[in-house]
A = this chain, B = another copy of it.
Amino acid sequence: MIKKPLLLACAAAFAALPLSAQETKPEQPSPPEIVSRAKAEEWVAIAPSDLLVLELAGIADGKVLKQRRVVIQLIPPPFSQGWVGNIHKLAAAKWWDGTSINRVQDNYVVQWGDATEKKALPEGLAVVPESGYKTALERIFPVDAGPVAGNKDGLPKSAIAEMDRAAMAPKMRDPYSETLFHFAGWPLAGDFESYWPTHCYGMVGVGRNLSPDTGSGAELYTVIGHAPRHLDRNIALVGRVIEGIEHLSSLPRGTGALGFYENEAERTPIVSVRIGDQVTGLPAYEYLSTESQTFAAYADARANRRDAFFNVPAGGADICNIPVPVRRRTQ
């Protein structure tokens, strides 16, 4: 019999096989299997008003015009709200309609906005200072429990030390920060005084000019390669792609400097950008609570793969290798 020499292809198929007497390694569920067993109440609904929906020009697929939609979840308070507010205004003004994808740099970013750099911005956009790149501890973890970042309950301050302690264990040690962990659905790094979201695959940020400019939010990019964590605290992160990133990551790379396209024909037109509550028929989305037991088990399994394909568990994982599960809500 010819073996099926496919990377990871067989893990799922083999998962149901009975163990032989010689088999000493008990079969363990894979990270997706763990997530699939989460309780309904461990999933958190994402409000349509927290979604940004990009419709790219359709692409010919035989005789069919295939739609290309990218769905972005905007980051909740206390992070980056000056820019998030601007994004709401830009979408309401239909500012991005008729703009384009202008830059695709391999192993780095896809960037979109106004290629002419001459389109006037709507009135009333906020100018956010660089202090907005990070947020003080007290704004993330209120001393007295209260509503935080979409979660029902805040964390008592006593929990902070515990989270920081856990994050400093070898399994999470990080060259870019003193501490990191997931909270309220997002990957965060910190220095015990302030905290900031991290540049993982699919995160969406705000293009800008040189300091002290911090960008308006009209020029946006998403990460399509290895996490460029050196951008943390240097550029604002405003969200993450939760569906359709393949429509951006598989675009032809730009041949100009920094991956910019060199002519108009290369740019993918953006038909429209709307906040989710303005999009008829948009599916409902939900994420796995990062404070849930299932998320803890999932993160542990990502750091210590015990499913059939793996022989040597890593013993750790970097935060960008523990993506927060997001799915369409079915009910």
A residues neighboring B (CB under 8 Å): 2-12, 14, 103-104, 106-107, 109, 111, 113, 117-118, 130, 133, 170-176, 200-202, 205, 207-211, 213, 215-216, 218-219, 221, 225-230, 232-235, 245-246, 249-253, 257-258, 260, 302-303, 305, 308-318, 320-321
Majority DSSP secondary structure for residues of A touching B:
loop
> Are B249 and A251 neighbours in the complex by a CB distance under 8 Å?
no
Residues of B near A219 (CB, < 8 A) are 5-7
- Can you list the 8 inter-chain pairs with the closest CB atoms, starting with the nearest? A175-B316, A7-B207, A5-B219, A246-B253, A233-B312, A173-B173, A201-B226, A230-B314
Q: Given A3-B213, A5-B117, A226-B200: A175 and B318 within 8 A (CB)? A: yes
Residues of B near A314 (CB, < 8 A) are 175-176, 229-230, 232
21 A–B contact pairs at CB < 8 A? A5-B113, A5-B208, A5-B209, A5-B213, A5-B216, A6-B207, A7-B109, A7-B205, A11-B210, A14-B210, A172-B175, A173-B175, A174-B175, A176-B318, A200-B226, A201-B226, A226-B320, A229-B314, A229-B318, A230-B303, A233-B312
Q: Given A210-B308, A226-B200, A311-B211: A7 and B221 within 8 A (CB)? A: yes
Separation in Å of the A113 CB from the closest CB of chain B?
7
Residues of B near A109 (CB, < 8 A) are 7
Known: A4-B209, A226-B320. 16 other contacts (CB 8 A): A4-B117, A5-B117, A5-B216, A6-B209, A6-B219, A106-B245, A107-B201, A107-B202, A170-B175, A173-B173, A176-B316, A225-B226, A226-B227, A229-B314, A230-B321, A234-B311
> Are B310 and A234 neighbours in the complex by a CB distance under 8 Å?
yes
> Are B230 and A305 neighbours in the complex by a CB distance under 8 Å?
yes
Residues of B near A253 (CB, < 8 A) are 246, 249-250
Q: Which of chain B's residues has its CB closest to A3's CB?
A: B209
Separation in Å of the A205 CB from the closest CB of chain B?
7
> Are B317 and A176 neighbours in the complex by a CB distance under 8 Å?
yes
Residues of B near A226 (CB, < 8 A) are 200-201, 225-227, 320-321
Residues of B near A235 (CB, < 8 A) are 7
Bound Cα distance from A6 to B215, whole angstroms: 9
Residues of B near A218 (CB, < 8 A) are 5
> Are A12 and B225 neighbours in the complex by a CB distance under 8 Å?
no
Separation in Å of the A114 CB from the closest CB of chain B?
9
Separation in Å of the A122 CB from the closest CB of chain B?
14
Separation in Å of the A77 CB from the closest CB of chain B?
22
Q: Given A5-B209, A9-B260, A219-B6: A249 and B106 within 8 A (CB)? A: yes
Partner of A310, one of B9, B230, B315: B230
